[in-house]
Amino acid sequence: MLRLRPGRQFSEVFLTHSPYSSTRETIYAKSGMVATSQPLAAQAGLFILKEGGNAVDAAIATAAALTVVEPTSNGIGGDAFALVWAEGRLHGLNGSGNSPALLGRDALPGGELPAHGWLPVTVPGAPRAWADLHARFGRLPFEQVLAPAIRYAREGYPLSPVLARNWARAARIYGARGGDYLGPWFETFMPSGFTPRAGALWASEGHARTLESIAASGAKSFYDGELAAQIDAHARATGGLLRAGDLAAHESEWVEPIKVSYRDHDVWEIPPNGHGIAALIGLGILEGLELPGTRDEVEGLHRQIEATKLGFADAHRYVADPRHADVPVRELLCPSYHARRRALIGEQALTPEAGDPHGGGTVYLSTADGEGNMVSFIQSNYMGFGSGVVVPGTGISLQNRGHNFNLEAGHPNEIAPGKRPYHTIIPGFLTRGDEPVGPFGVMGGFMQPQGHLQVVVNTLDYGMDPQMALDAPRWQWTGGKTIEVEHGLPVHVARELAARGHDIKVQHESGSFGRGQIIWRDEHGVLRGGTESRTDGQVAAY
């Protein structure tokens, strides 16, 4: 019998960390599916599908809702990327923004680029990405597509458990950091009487009004209207470099996705300035290696880790804004280059270095409809809430993507005005022959290419269904020979990896190992979806 101690409310007696392991099953459906990290956002997308919208409408509705119901990982002031299967082929959209025209080395105090405050803020690309996706592929009116997000913002919603923990952590960090620029953040996300815990209600009229303005104007107000003016005014008043001119100059870019072949499939990513190419290089290296018959064997994990390290070394050396630097994409994806990199893998862990190809706090969602359209979509403010800068009265929390610029003179990703930084958020997509298999992604900063590689290997080498592929224990390379592994990895395997020279760190918290979603479609049109068990994720389908 449930008993309340004197003075405690009913809602305070429930545990928010389960003491028991739980198992999720893959979800099957036929007519439509949405998979993302927050159940209310998944339901927003499903609602739009049932209203007659297609997979693109559902993706936009889900993405807009996520800015409200998971602001700990993304926001209206963030960037977005998408891979869309429609009209018989795959389309790519780069919705990342430039650095301000006023940003340069002379703007950096002490020659350093901080992670928070105004200096790392770049132009938000998400609202225009929504509008551009809708203009090209959407079916329902844009205002109808954004309506669920507006309703969540205005009427409020209860926080889910992982969301609440991340929110409370951000409040502690920002409270300890201090700074005048954080005042609007606390007014928006920690209003009087609100404590971030599971079940607590939060609403934001500022978010609602901003989303209504974006919906009514097709995002024009954000880049050349009332919202742009508010962002400009706040920047000028508080020492920011972002200006209305930076916003007005922003455009999304339709791009040709890049790919490698792996185990009779093609794995697709968005080209640089994103680092999805790191996952493709790693898979290209693995394509020429045989992996053991079961997943948790040291030889297979060792080879995956080494291939990943080599892919990252190349990404860190070459990935940049291709409008400002020569990024050798074709050479980095060449099988002969992968063969040379593969030859570096031995029995012992290596310290990775970039090769010479010329010589030879993110949210992710997947959607699918019954007509064959599928979307892989990712959106982020970068570090949790982003820069910590919030435009008063708007709910616009600005990203801190500029922190990924390199300060090394002459580096392809060197800090400069009007330039897109190295970007960590990457949507993935899998095809076989000329047919789509489906969208997938694993969000989480520099974990993302590593998560992509592990999900693909789990699926194509070890035959795991979507939920199994996501639930399997993960590892991540963090630099040098250091590998963090989840506590679910068998102890003897961790010991054998250490014997090969890997510096193994066992982590008992899973927050840094990414959060993924998968939707696969089979030859009969049946959709199979998996969602991240490390967070509040849900697959909504019918």
**Could you tell me the two tokens for 20?**
């028991």
12 within some domain: no
Are the beta carbons of 441 and 364 closer than 8 angstroms? yes
Report whether pLDDT(103) > 90. yes
pLDDT-based confidence at residue 131 (cuts at 50, 70, 90): very high
Closest Cα to residue 181, out of 383, 400, 386, 389?
Answer: 389
Judged on CB neighbours under 10 Å (0-12, 13-18, 19+), 372 is middle
C-alpha of 98 from chain center: 18
Q: Which residues pair with 539 in a beta bridge?
A: 35
Instruction: Give yes or no: residues 242 and 267 share one domain.
Output: no
173 within some domain: yes
Rounded mean pLDDT of 172-183? Answer: 92
Please say if 362 is a catalytic residue: yes
**Could you tell me the two tokens for 296?**
């948790």
Rounded mean pLDDT of 151-175? Answer: 96
342 within some domain: yes
pLDDT-based confidence at residue 112 (cuts at 50, 70, 90): confident
479 within some domain: yes
Angstrom distance (rounded) from CA 274 to CA 79: 11
Report whether pLDDT(488) > 50. yes
19 within some domain: no
112 within some domain: yes
Instruction: Give yes or no: residues 242 and 282 share one domain.
Output: no
Domains held by the chain: number: 2
pLDDT-based confidence at residue 126 (cuts at 50, 70, 90): very high
Instruction: Give yes or no: residues 259 and 184 share one domain.
Output: no
> pLDDT, tens digit, for every residue of 436-454?
999 999 988 789 999 999 9
Are the beta carbons of 475 and 281 closer than 8 angstroms? no
381 within some domain: no
Rounded mean pLDDT of 511-532? Answer: 93
pLDDT at site 319: 95
For residue 302, the domain's CATH number is 3.60.20.40
60 within some domain: yes
Rounded mean pLDDT of 393-414? Answer: 95
Angstrom distance (rounded) from CA 531 to CA 91: 24
Instruction: Give yes or no: residues 214 and 112 share one domain.
Output: yes
Range of the domain at 266: 254-363+425-541
Angstrom distance (rounded) from CA 535 to CA 440: 16
Residue with tokens 């209003």: 191
Instruction: Give yes or no: residues 319 and 339 share one domain.
Output: yes
Tell me the one-letter amino acid at 295. Answer: R
Distances in Å between the Cα of 104 and the Cα atoms of 158, 419, 424, 459 are 42, 11, 22, 44
Q: Which residues pair with 476 in a beta bridge?
A: 484
Backbone angles phi, psi at 430, to 5 degrees: -120, 135
Report whether pLDDT(10) > 80. no
- Cα–Cα–Cα angle for 399, 401, 402, nearest 5°? 120
Instruction: Give yes or no: residues 359 and 393 share one domain.
Output: no
Instruction: Give yes or no: residues 345 and 395 share one domain.
Output: no
**Could you tell me the two tokens for 332?**
């980095």
Helix (H) or strand (E) holding 40: helix 39-50
Backbone angles phi, psi at 390, to 5 degrees: -120, 130
Instruction: Give yes or no: residues 286 and 244 share one domain.
Output: no
Report whether pLDDT(361) > 70. no
Of 26, 188, 362, 394, catalytic:
362
Contact residues for 324 (Cβ-Cβ < 8 A; gap 6+): 412, 416, 419
Contact residues for 372 (Cβ-Cβ < 8 A; gap 6+): 85, 436, 521, 525
Are the beta carbons of 477 and 308 closer than 8 angstroms? yes
Report whether pLDDT(299) > 80. yes
Instruction: Give yes or no: residues 336 and 301 share one domain.
Output: yes
pLDDT at site 104: 87
pLDDT-based confidence at residue 357 (cuts at 50, 70, 90): confident
Report whether pLDDT(6) > 70. no
Rounded mean pLDDT of 495-519? Answer: 91
> pLDDT, tens digit, for every residue of 408-431?
999 999 999 999 999 999 999 999
pLDDT at site 17: 59
Angstrom distance (rounded) from CA 63 to CA 142: 13
Pairwise pLDDT comparison (512 vs 7), residue with the higher score? 512
Whole-number percent of the chain with pLDDT over 90: 86
Pairwise pLDDT comparison (1 vs 142), residue with the higher score? 142
Report whether pLDDT(18) > 80. no
DSSP structure string for 435-466: EEEEEEEEESGGGHHHHHHHHHHHHHTT---H
Rounded mean pLDDT of 246-255? Answer: 98
Quote the mean pLDDT of the chain.
93
> pLDDT, tens digit, for every residue of 37-63?
999 999 999 999 999 999 999 999 999
pLDDT at site 2: 45
Instruction: Give yes or no: residues 467 and 508 share one domain.
Output: yes
Instruction: Give yes or no: residues 397 and 356 share one domain.
Output: no
Angstrom distance (rounded) from CA 95 to CA 87: 21
pLDDT at site 25: 93
Rounded mean pLDDT of 106-114? Answer: 86
Tell me the one-letter amino acid at 418. Answer: G
Are the beta carbons of 518 and 437 closer than 8 angstroms? no
Instruction: Give yes or no: residues 239 and 288 share one domain.
Output: no
